[in-house]
Amino acid sequence: MKRRTACHAMLLAIMASPRMTWAQVADRPARLAFLVEPALDAPLQQAVVKALREGLRTLGYIEGRNYSIEFRSADGTFARLPALASELLRQQPDVLVTAWPAAAMAAKEATRTVPVVAVSVDNPVTMGLAQSFAQPGGNITGVGSWAVEIVAKRLQVLREFVPAAKRFGVLFNPNVAGPGLERAVADWQKGLGLPIHAYAASGPGDFDGAFAAMAKDGVGGLLVFADSNTYTHRVVLNQLCLQRRMPSVWGGRDFMTGGALASYQSDYPDMFRRSATLIDKILKGTKPGDIPFEQASKLELVIDAKAAKALDVVVPPALLLSADHVIE
């Protein structure tokens, strides 16, 4: 009996040992990995990388002392994500951080064991990243960005800009659009009371055809989805909006290069700073499946008054008053 009790106590001690947790790394610096589809240019370095490091620093993590981080970017090429995810996983990171839906889905396909913190994703349940917000249940947790709800708000903003429009369009990337897009468009259409047409574009070769189809369909305003494709080619798309005199609302301030009327989006830096808390919990032994998915809490409305003038669009005073930033 004494021997059985001693063995039982030893088993409990082993199970409670930090080495048995998902990623307890008290005896060495934590290894983090970061995967993103678009190029990590200056705006993303500021909004994403700097914000993540700030969040970690606030929690006592000092790069080079108690953690390291490896970055991989697909430079806007969707097809590169699976190989990059595998490359990062071979380095045996304690936590893999992903930015935006495409990278999160690549991580989901690449591992079922390494903890993943997916930042700025759409609904993680409908994407198959989690069983529920409160109890993800697998190896992935993160921060959602109110995708469906915020798109409805962007459409309302667009309607305030062009109240006489008879129909709207949404430009999406078929590589990352989920199976629920058709239903979502129907819901947005019902809520707005206007027909909404969806136009697929997976790269620059599709842009002219999409805009030509919009003109043929009589689209009076465009909502451009935020993804790596539209970010990578934002300058071309902004120019097309000017050339085609197409009022547009976008999903992030850094997407605006002179042709977009406005952006309404979750605050990216805030989300990536907050993700540091989730990373910290995992490194201290909490399973990702037990860490609830968070939702973005800060939203930002940016209006480009110069673009409005170029497009001969009057900015409603109410929108000006509610804007967080106005580009003059």
- Domain-wise residue ranges, the chain: 22-145+268-296, 147-266+300-327
Percent of the chain's residues with pLDDT above 90: 82
Burial group, residue 134, by CB count within 10 angstroms (0-12, 13-18, 19+) = exposed
Burial group, residue 21, by CB count within 10 angstroms (0-12, 13-18, 19+) = middle
Per-residue pLDDT tens digits for 272-292: 999 999 999 999 999 999 999
Query: Other CB atoms closer than 10 Å to residue 294's CB: what's the count?
Result: 17
Query: Other CB atoms closer than 10 Å to residue 39's CB: what's the count?
Result: 15
Rounded Cα gap, residues 95 and 119, in angstroms: 13
Rounded Cα gap, residues 169 and 211, in angstroms: 10
Rounded Cα gap, residues 176 and 254, in angstroms: 20
CA 253 to chain centroid: 13
Give the angle 150-320-270 at the CA atoms, nearest 5°: 45
Decide: 214 and 172 in contact? Cβ < 8 Å.
no
For residue 55, pLDDT beyond 50: yes
Name the architecture of domain 147-266+300-327.
3-Layer(aba) Sandwich (3.40)
For residue 262, pLDDT beyond 80: yes
Nearest to 171 by CA among 90, 130, 227: 227
Task: Tell me the pLDDT of the chain averaged across its residues.
Answer: 91
For the chain, what is the radius of gyration of the CA atoms? 22
Name the architecture of domain 22-145+268-296.
3-Layer(aba) Sandwich (3.40)
Per-residue pLDDT tens digits for 203-234: 999 999 999 999 999 999 999 999 889 999 99
Lowest-confidence region among 126-130, 153-157, 176-180: 176-180
| Mean pLDDT, residues 1-15 taken together | 43
Which letter does DSSP use for residue 128 in this model? T
4-9 long-range contacts (CB < 8 A, ≥24 apart) are: none
Q: What is the per-residue pLDDT for 312?
A: 97
| Mean pLDDT, residues 124-140 taken together | 95
Domains 22-145+268-296 and 147-266+300-327 share a fold: yes
Q: What is the per-residue pLDDT for 22?
A: 45
Instruction: Name the band, by pLDDT with cuts 50, 70 and 90, for residue 20.
Output: very low
Instruction: Name the band, by pLDDT with cuts 50, 70 and 90, for residue 19.
Output: very low
Q: What is the per-residue pLDDT for 8?
A: 46
The first and second tokens of residue 75, run together, are 């430079």
| Mean pLDDT, residues 131-136 taken together | 97
